Amino acid sequence: MFALVDCNSFYASCERVFRPDLKDKPVVVLSNNDGCVVALSKEAKKLGIKMCDPWYQIESSYTKKGGYAFSSNYELYADISARIMTTLERLSPNIEIYSIDEAFLDLTGVNNCQNLQDFGMQCKETIKQWTGMPVRVGIAPTKTLSKIASYGAKYYPATQGVVDLSKPERQKKLLNLVPVQEVWGVGRKIHKRLNQIGIRTALDLAMIDTKYVRNNFNIVLAKTVRELRGEPCIGLEDQPSAKKQIVVSRTFSKRVDDLRTLEEAVSDYAARAAAKLRRENRRCLYVSVFIRTNPFRAQDRQYRNSGTTRLIAPTSDTRDIIQNAKKSLRAIYRSGFNYIKAGILLSDFYDDQIQQYDFFYSKERTLHSDQLMNTIDKINKKGLPPVYFLAQGIKRKWSMKREIQSPRYTTSWNDLPKVS
């Protein structure tokens, strides 16, 4: 038996945790550079705001109607997410963190000693009390059905945010109400093809012959069909699967046309990516850089390109990564363009505990590099003024615009909420 715990309008709810005055008020969260709406509360939805609405178009009318908006504050969201996951780990020994705002719980054994509906309520209330975040809980014998249960909890207020689908008759009833495109694992393309053969609801999908699905679609969808029937095919992944690549990319606050500024931005992203890589205890062999102009500015000449450098040996040393990122950048940079975005991608990862020694690349260098990087990471973790490489720039005028960001309530001493 599984439970899916899913946060309601996650980013918007995070903004409300330390702003109780925003309860029942419209709240939206904006993308990087305050470009467009990426999360919204149900009150904002009622005002007619939609996901991806450009902020400059809705700003004046939305604020006039009493709506609140925030620049994205990922540090706050990540920290609140971590608090929720820690709380969940207390409630169930086996959890799979599926995304920043969702987790699957393995309920094996729970149903022997507790009513599942009650367990769901307890989950919801504990998280609300301990973290201030509203969540909904879907309970079912398979992960796919628990997603369906969570859908039910979201759209039917009478459920009070908890749906238990352990009984087959309840499964059938809800499956019949859920459009097939809402089923976990059914993407846009498959949805179109399913529609062509008359499959409209989740129940329709649960009824098709799995052999037919395997031959005409794929094995993954066949698994989904079985899961909808209550046969567990997808287990809990308690170990988050190792990342295959790390990407750090940002849109600039203003257009950039000179190589020096681009180098500064790319070096900064490289340093962030390298720190992420070390947090995962990995080293990478390839460093790629990409740059592009703004395709929405028709008056500008357009250019986009990417370049990759292979390193001599896998590394997680910020210096190596910055150096090679700059090398890749210089190879693809063309003058006379207004660049709006750049990014860095690290790939082909190696475990930092396993190392193939090289005749011409000394062990001592790796050892010193590890010590230096460890020290930098330790200092930066303490929340003191950060240590960074000069290549990352000092003023960073290109860096993202976040004009209406909320304080980092939980991760910065200076941003602690004050009681007056």
Partner 1 sequence: MEFNINKNDLVEPALLASNVSEKRQSIPILSNVLISAAKNSIKITATDLEIEYKTTIEGVEVKKEGEVTVSARKLADLVRSIPEDTKLNFCLIDNQIEIKALKFQADLATLPASDFPSIDSADFSSSIKISSSALADMIGSTSVAMAAQDVRYYLNGCLLETKGNALCVVSTDGHRLAFTKTSIDGLKEDFRVIVPRKAVMELQKIISANDEEITLNVSQNQINVVGSVFSFTSKLIEGNYPDYEKVFPVGDESKLIVDKNEFNTALSRASVLSNEKYRGIRLSLNKDLLKIEANNPEKESAEEEIKVDYSGPELEIGFNISYLQESLTTIKDLSAEIVFFGQESSCIVKNKENEDLIHVIMPMRL
Could you tell me which stretch among 6-14, 265-273, 348-356, 385-393 binds partner 1 (CB under 8 A)? 348-356
Does residue 310 bind partner 1 (CB under 8 A)? yes
- What tokens were used for 259? 């190589």
Q: With CB under 8 A, what is the number of residues at the site for partner 1?
A: 17
Tell me how far, at minimum, the Cβ of 147 lies from partner 1, in Å.
Answer: 28
Is residue 357 part of the contact set for partner 1 (CB under 8 A)? yes
What residues from 363 to 402 belong to the interface with partner 1 (CB under 8 A)?
Answer: 363
Site string (312-331) toward partner 1, x via CB under 8 A: xx------------------
Q: What angle do CA 118, 121, 124 make, to 5 degrees?
A: 155
Instruction: Please state the closest distance from residue 244 (CB atom) to partner 1, in A.
Output: 12
Nearest approach, Cβ of 366 to partner 1 (angstroms)? 10
Tokens of 381: 């973790």
| Least distance from partner 1 to the Cβ atom of residue 126, Å | 34
> What is the identity of the amino acid at 195?
N
Among positions 60, 241, 299, 353, the unique one binding partner 1 when judged by CB under 8 A:
353
| 296 binds partner 1, rule: CB under 8 A | no
Which segments of 132-218 does DSSP mark as H helices, in order? Answer: 143-155, 168-175, 188-196, 202-207, 210-216
Q: Which is nearer to partner 1, 355 or 375 (CB)?
A: 355
User: Rule CB under 8 A: is residue 354 a binding residue for partner 1?
Assistant: yes
Question: For residue 318, what are the contacts with CB-CB under 8 A and spacing of at least 6?
Answer: 270, 271, 274, 275, 373, 376, 389
d(CA 130, CA 65): 32
Least Å distance between CB 376 and partner 1? 23
Cβ–Cβ under 8 Å, residues 242 and 280: yes
Question: Which of 216-224's residues contact partners 24+ apart within 8 Å by CB, and which partners?
Answer: 217/190, 217/193, 220/185, 221/185, 221/186, 221/190, 223/185, 224/144, 224/183, 224/184, 224/185, 224/186
From CA 83, how far away is CA 346, in angstroms rounded? 29
* In the complex, least distance from residue 322 CB atom to partner 1, rounded to whole angstroms: 16
| Nearer CB in complex with partner 1: 268/320 | 320
Among 356, 364, 413, 414, binds partner 1 (CB under 8 A): 356
Nearer CB in complex with partner 1: 261/309: 309
- Judged by CB under 8 A, which of 157, 187, 359, 420 binds partner 1? 359
CB-nearer residue toward partner 1: 85 or 236: 236
Shortest CB 355 distance to partner 1, Å: 4
SS3 239: coil
Give the residue with the Cβ less far from partner 1, 155 or 361. 361
- Between residues 210 and 308, which has the closer beta carbon with respect to partner 1? 308
Q: How far is the CB of 122 from partner 1 (least distance, A)?
A: 35
CA distances from 94 to 33, 42, 89, 131, 137 (A): 38, 32, 7, 20, 16
Token code pair at residue 257: 């046309």
Letter for the amino acid at 366? Answer: T
Select 109 or 235, whichever has its Cβ closest to partner 1. Answer: 235
Q: Applying CB under 8 A, which of residues 160, 215, 302, 355 lies at the interface with partner 1?
A: 355
Paired tokens of 5: 């715990």
Task: Decide: is 351 part of the binding site for partner 1 (CB under 8 A).
Answer: yes
Q: Is 253 helix (H, G, I), strand (E, B) or coil?
A: strand
Residue 334 sits at the vertex; the CA angle it makes with 263 and 31, to the nearest 5 degrees, is: 60
Q: Is 212 in the site for partner 1 (CB under 8 A)?
A: no
| Beta carbon nearer to partner 1, 300 or 370 | 370
What is d(CA 266, CA 273) in angstroms, rounded to the nearest whole number?
A: 10
- Is there binding between residue 241 and partner 1 (CB under 8 A)? no
d(C-alpha 89, C-alpha 112), whole Å: 19
Site string for partner 1, 92-131 (x = CB under 8 A): ----------------------------------------
CA distances from 175 to 104, 148, 164, 169, 202 (A): 20, 7, 13, 10, 5
Binding site for partner 1 (CB under 8 A): 309-313, 350-351, 353-361, 363
